[in-house]
Amino acid sequence: MFIRTVRSHISAVIASALFLGGCTTPSELPQGPDAVWDVVIIGDSTLWELGEAYASQIENDVGVDVALHDFALSGLSAGEVLWTLQAGPPARSQLEQLATALKDAEVVVMFVNPVNSVDPANPHDEEACFMSRAPGPCGPASFDKWTTDLKAIWAEIFKLRNRKATILRATDCYNPLVVPWEKRGVFDDCTECWENMSDAAHSAAQAYDIPFLSRLDAFNGPSHDEDPRQKGFIIGDGEHPSVLAAQFTAELLSQMGYQPVPEP
């Protein structure tokens, strides 16, 4: 019942936006029946399945063809992406075409994790929560290095785009472990850690006026205590997004519209 209600609400919002012209595209973006938009997804495994869903959503909303460049890779971190874009060679072979894809990208969606963005003087320990253990340091300041790295990645994307119109969208990480955290007595500490991580990603996006989608809010509810497994958003491994979750996320991105982000 929850899923049907949410999907009906999102569909109604999207339909209203389209009717009001919310989906009109700026003239500097390719338009018309022969137009092609390059869509780049940069993420860890929490963005698996999103590429195909969002590509289809864009084709339906905007009426263009989409060329998808999907860099949603297991464990992909901000540190790896930043190294690939600033220094090279690519941190892993799957990222060899990332810079080229970004040069041509009309749309970029990104969430890359903070694993390799650690200040030794103020480390974070959100990884403990993936094992349903109480985290060590996980306060807001422990994610400062990650925020800095995310800002640097966005800056590299602007540089690669060279002042061309680009639809940029940032997101955070949902929590698939509500029940395990509750059973282990770490729900409050790990939820606070996840919220600090979400705030850090949001702060990096805000620095460039990049619209931000909180999957933590969307999947886990406003109090972050709803179980996305019960909504059909998580596959059998207990952590990764289902096709339904990807479709839901694509609809939320669609609701945000297709306005390019101004050059900083």
Burial of 163 (C-beta count, 10 Å sphere; 0-12/13-18/19+)? exposed
CATH superfamily, with its number, for domain 35-255: SGNH hydrolase (3.40.50.1110)
The span from the CA of 244 to the CA of 56, in Å, is 14
pLDDT of residue 88: 80
φ, ψ of residue 124 to 5 degrees: the values are -110, 160
pLDDT of residue 217: 98
pLDDT of residue 9: 37
φ, ψ of residue 219 to 5 degrees: the values are -85, -35
For the chain, give every domain's residue range.
35-255
The span from the CA of 90 to the CA of 100, in Å, is 12
pLDDT of residue 25: 54
Query: Residue 167: which of 72, 34, 57, 246 has the closest Cα?
Result: 57
Which residues of the chain fall below pLDDT 50? 1-24
pLDDT of residue 242: 98
Q: Give, as one character, the DSSP assignment of residue 237.
A: T
Query: Residue 109: which of 233, 246, 263 has the closest Cα?
Result: 246
pLDDT of residue 26: 57
Q: H or E element: which one contains 108?
A: strand 107-111
Which of helix, strand or coil describes residue 109?
strand
The span from the CA of 38 to the CA of 33, in Å, is 15
Length of the chain (residues): 264
Q: How far from each other are the two terminal CA atoms of the chain, in whole angstroms? A: 43
